[in-house]
């Protein structure tokens, strides 16, 4: 199975900060990567698919980049509602796998 | 609007059986994959398996193969996740999710159910 390693596992940031989260795949996955946001007690929400395509309704401060084995999720200016845990997921092959998550805290 | 509505929380004893559900609405149920995702307390997301309601093609992640059964009832647009012998380690939140396959071998998930909390305790 393809392993996805996210870094950091947690980070502290302030309102207005630029935040970057990294996801590395154990083998090349082209651009078949999605990013999700999960708040406590809630279901995950799709932010980005195909590494850089913004899901409808998601604010433009979220962006994704990368291909092959290295990917990033960037929040250009952190807002109060962005404090959450973020997961990457590969969809190039089965079994579908998620990264371990990055918790963004104040 | 796409909706996935899951069945309510369950409390079971070890060794018991359980079947939880996920009802889709607002879209053509048979044209999208439905996945089940486990989240153990305080932990991350794990894909358990996925089913294509159109032809019941089912793929299990290796860790869950033989441990659970995923099925679907097209007539009611409902997917199911079933256990025959629950263990305390099955205690978790379980999410269903709609899988979108865009010119890729496998899907990502654009809509999620609200989650079903399963507690297994003697």
Nearest to A35 by CA among A54, A49, A23: A49
A55 touches chain B (CB under 8 A): yes
Strand, coil or helix: what is B24?
strand
Q: How far is B22 from chain A (nearest CA, A)?
A: 14
**A54/A23 Cα distance (integer angstroms):** 17
Q: What is the pLDDT of residue A106?
A: 82
| Closest chain A residue to the Cα of B36, Cα to Cα | A96
pLDDT band at B27 (very low <50, low <70, confident <90, very high): very high
Q: What is the pLDDT of residue B105?
A: 78
**A61/A76 Cα distance (integer angstroms):** 5
Burial degree of B58 (CB within 10 A; 0-12, 13-18, 19+): middle
A49 touches chain B (CB under 8 A): yes
pLDDT band at B48 (very low <50, low <70, confident <90, very high): very high
pLDDT band at B101 (very low <50, low <70, confident <90, very high): confident
With an 8 Å Cβ cutoff, are B112 and A44 in contact?
yes
> In this complex, which of B44, B106, B111 lies closest to A96 when CB atoms are compared?
B106
- Mean pLDDT over the full length of chain A: 97
B70 touches chain A (CB under 8 A): no
Those residues with Cβ within 8 angstroms of residue A102's Cβ, 6 or more apart along the chain or in another chain: A6, A7, A8, A9, A10, A11, A21, A85, A86, A87
**B39/A96 Cα distance (integer angstroms):** 15
* B75, two tokens: 């007539």
Strand, coil or helix: what is B79?
strand
Q: What is the pLDDT of residue A39?
A: 97
Q: What is the pLDDT of residue A54?
A: 98
- The continuous run of DSSP H or E covering B104 comes out as none
pLDDT, tens digit (0-9, with 9 covering 90-100), for A41-89: 999 999 999 999 999 999 999 999 999 999 999 999 999 999 999 999 9
């Amino acid at each position: 199975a393809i392993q996805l390693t996210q870094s950091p596992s947690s980070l502290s940031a302030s309102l207005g900060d630029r935040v970057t989260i990294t996801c590395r795949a154990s083998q090349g996955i082209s651009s078949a990567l999605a990013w999700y946001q999960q708040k406590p007690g809630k279901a995950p929400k799709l932010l980005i698919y195909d590494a850089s395509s913004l899901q409808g309704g998601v604010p433009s401060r979220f962006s994704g980049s990368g291909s092959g084995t290295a990917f990033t999720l960037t929040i250009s200016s952190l807002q109060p509602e962005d404090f959450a845990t973020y997961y990457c997921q590969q969809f190039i092959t089965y079994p579908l796998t998620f990264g371990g998550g990055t918790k963004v805290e104040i | 609007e796409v909706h996935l509505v899951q069945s309510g929380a369950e409390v079971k004893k070890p060794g018991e059986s359980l079947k939880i559900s996920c009802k889709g609405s607002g879209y053509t149920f048979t044209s999208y994959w439905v996945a089940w995702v486990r989240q153990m307390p305080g932990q991350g997301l794990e894909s358990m398996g996925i089913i294509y309601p159109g032809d019941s093609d089912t793929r299990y992640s290796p860790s869950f193969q033989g441990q659970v059964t995923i099925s679907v009832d097209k007539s009611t647009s409902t997917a199911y996740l079933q256990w025959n012998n629950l263990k305390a380690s099955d205690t978790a939140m379980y999410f269903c999710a709609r899988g979108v396959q865009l010119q890729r071998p496998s899907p990502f998930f654009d809509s999620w159910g609200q989650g079903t909390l399963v507690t297994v305790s003697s």
